[in-house]
Amino acid sequence: MFFTKMHGLGNNYVVFNQLDEPENILEEHEYPDLSRYVSDVNFGIGSDGIILICSSNIADFKMRIFNEDGSEAKNCGNGLRCVAKYLYDHMYAKSPRFSIETRGGVVNVEIEEGFEQRQSVQSITVDMGEPKLLKSMIPMKGDPFSITINEPYTFDGNVYYLTCVSMGNPHAIIFVDDVNAFPLEKLGPIIENSSLFPERINVGIVQVKGPKELDYRVWERGSGMTMACGTGACAAVVAATMNQYLEKYEPIIVHLPGGDLTIRWDEKGHVWKKGEADYICHGELKYSKNK
């Protein structure tokens, strides 16, 4: 199996092109094991998960994403930028604007910089669509028709105020005074696996730096601490706007451990994300099918 390892701000995935590499198409039940094997830094390649680039019947292309633990997610913001770069650089995408189907819905991408010549894409903008806010859409327990804005919940004996947003995949956001002092490595897995969230949840902490700037760190569902989370950065801006920390409709700079993203929740309710993506390496994976 041939792969390309890529990253978006250090959130790294091993990408398998299934468009014209049939040896990359496995039985459905094999993908979780493949992701666990590939993601293992000792016995595999080492990554936050795997991404499959597939054909689509409803969009120009399709992206599937599996976390390090083998669970399949409905969306991946950093992964979408990697896939967009790969598709344009390798001339699958004929125009700098095209659509990608995810399990969370179809998104539109635009190659921002580097489209003049292939293999040089640096910056990609993605229309991530509208956030889903009702508890039933996260999903989480409680009144299905209510929105979770700064609501108190107890984890590990302490009360934390959650704002929950789905960008196709679920995010619990907590506002803190210092993202570097908060024990996310300890609290992340406790919240991720709480019975409050039937499909588990990604956990993000946000420090407001100003009306157009956030610091954000993430514990990802199924992958743990990562250097960045694109959907999480979108959820952070939506949550901070709902809590009146940010100027509405303005481009917001979100600082993540792996770098910065520019996020805008526009007047029509769509969340736009702009950032970089890049290659790390190409290679051939030793993998025996149907093992």
Task: For residue 6, state whether it binds ligand API (rule: CB under 6 A).
Answer: no
The CB-of-34 to ligand API minimum distance in angstroms stands at 16
β-strands 97-102, 252-256 pairing: unpaired
Q: Is the dihedral of CA 79, 255, 231, 56 positive or negative?
A: negative
Q: Scanning residues 53 to 82, which ones bind ligand API (CB under 6 A)?
A: 65, 67, 73, 76-79
Task: For Cα atoms 90, 32, 135, give the angle at the middle one, nearest 5 degrees.
Answer: 95
Structure tokens at 186: 């300890």
Q: Scanning residues 163 to 182, which ones bind ligand API (CB under 6 A)?
A: 169
CB 202 within 8 A of CB 226: no
Give the closest residue to 93 by CA, choosing from 105, 104, 80. 80
Near ligand API by CB under 6 A, which window of 93-101, 150-158, 216-224, 262-270? 216-224
Comparing CB distances to ligand API, the nearer of 44 and 230 is 230
Near ligand API by CB under 6 A, which window of 115-123, 157-165, 220-228, 282-290? 220-228
CB 233 within 8 A of CB 167: no
- Is the preceding peptide bond at 139 cis, omega within 30 degrees of 0? yes
Task: For residue 204, state whether it binds ligand API (rule: CB under 6 A).
Answer: no
**One symbol per residue from 221 to 260: x for binding ligand API (CB under 6 A), - otherwise; what is it?**
xxx-----xxxx----------------------------
The residues binding ligand API (CB under 6 A) are 11, 65, 67, 73, 76-79, 169, 202, 220-223, 229-232
Catalytically active residues are: 76, 229
